[in-house]
């Protein structure tokens, strides 16, 4: 009796193959959901920074403000990619019902 078991076919590779089977519309929806979450986190960080009182100890802080803005954008992008809030996942789950399976 032969068993049709392939030792190379692990759960991770199965998950990757299922992810590859997404249509281009579904992949675009996933990307849009992640971008929306990143934008939301960026706006959240920007508004939170406005609540912190500024100290004029070092004088003009234009460079620091630019750096903080870039840092906030990177934090937002990284958080969205790692699903820290899970907002992208929720958006994808809600909107995927309206996206066709096949292109």
What residue ranges of the chain have pLDDT lower than 70? 1-21, 102-103
Q: What angle do CA 56, 60, 62 make, to 5 degrees?
A: 120
Q: Hey, where are the domains in the chain? A: 23-98
Q: Which residue has the tokens 């998950």?
A: 15
Given this model, what pLDDT does residue 72 score? 94
Q: State the burial class of residue 88 (Cβ atoms within 10 Å of its Cβ: 0-12, 13-18, 19+).
A: buried
The model's pTM is 0.70
pLDDT recorded at residue 19: 57
Report the pLDDT value the prediction gives residue 9, as an integer from 0 to 100. Answer: 58
């Amino acid at each position: 009796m032969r068993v049709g078991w392939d030792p190379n076919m692990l759960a991770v590779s199965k998950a990757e193959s299922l992810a590859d089977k997404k249509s281009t519309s579904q992949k675009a929806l996933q990307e849009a959901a992640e971008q929306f979450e990143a934008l939301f986190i960026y706006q959240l960080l920007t508004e939170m920074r406005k609540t912190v009182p500024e100290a004029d100890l070092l004088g003009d802080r234009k460079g620091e403000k630019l750096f903080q803005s870039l840092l906030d954008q990177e934090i937002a992008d990284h958080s969205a990619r790692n699903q820290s809030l899970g907002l992208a996942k929720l958006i994808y789950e809600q909107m995927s019902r309206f996206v066709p399976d096949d292109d």
